Amino acid sequence: MSRTPLVVVPLVVLLLAAAGFGARLLLADPDAADASGGPARCWDGTSSRDGVAGCSRPRGLEGLAWVFPSIDLDDPACSGAEGERRTTWRCRVRVAGAPVVVTYAAARDVRGNLRRLRRVYAAGDRAAARAADGSVNRWVWRLPEPDGSGLVRLTSAYREHPYAVTVAAPTVQARDLALRRVVEQRDPAEVRGIPD
């Protein structure tokens, strides 16, 4: 019996597998590549050759304004505070004729932020805010009843970043409308920066 088929057949299979893998690499869609590589413009104006992953986490009031483009740090109807554990920016606005308070916040870490929100909203409900691709990028907590001050509250928090915005209003309609019309939240993939 000849050994030629025993040697040639495995070699042909191996060559075909290698050719298929190589063709897949050559024909790959460049847009499907990892977005973390390549140059990026970071939230603080610096550049990163390692993509958005090479940018630092936004901090301070300037960082909060990057994450939430609806923040105007020159607005006299707003005030802010920077602390070691938390940075906040609070604005008083009118929505549908009702006074609304919008509070943007940056916590020290994601897990602590979500743990605090679970405690605050223990009597409420949490819904997923989904991206166009169906992935969950934020959690929205709502209290079903007014709090001690007579306001109904909701908080929208990033799932993988320590940033949140709380809206408090005298009615559910004004609260939900303020979240839609007043608050602008940056896409989670762009929280640290934008690919160039």
Domain ranges of the chain: 57-186
Instruction: For the chain, give percent helix, strand, coil, nearest 5.
Output: 30, 30, 35
Residue 49's identity, in one-letter code, is R
Nearest to 186 by CA among 69, 88, 90, 103: 69
Q: Domain spanning 57-186 has what CATH number?
A: 3.40.1000
Share of the chain above pLDDT 70, in %: 81
Across 55-69, 135-149, 156-170, least confident range: 135-149
Confidence (pLDDT) at 5: 59
Residue 21, pLDDT > 80, answer: no
What residues have CB less than 8 Å from 114, skipping those under 6 apart?
Answer: 139, 157
The model's pLDDT over 125-160, given as tens digits with 9 standing for 90+, comes to: 999 998 888 888 899 999 889 988 999 999 999 999
**Mean pLDDT on 69-76:** 96
Query: What secondary structure letter does DSSP report for 101?
Result: E
Whole-angstrom CA distances from 129 to 27, 41, 158 are 34, 26, 9
Lowest mean per-residue pLDDT among 24-28, 36-40, 79-83, 141-145: 24-28
Q: What is the pLDDT of residue 133?
A: 83
pLDDT at 76 over 90: yes
pLDDT of residue 8: 53
Arithmetic mean of pLDDT over the chain: 85
Per-residue pLDDT at 106: 96
Q: Is the pLDDT of residue 184 over 50?
A: yes
Q: Is the pLDDT of residue 31 over 90?
A: no
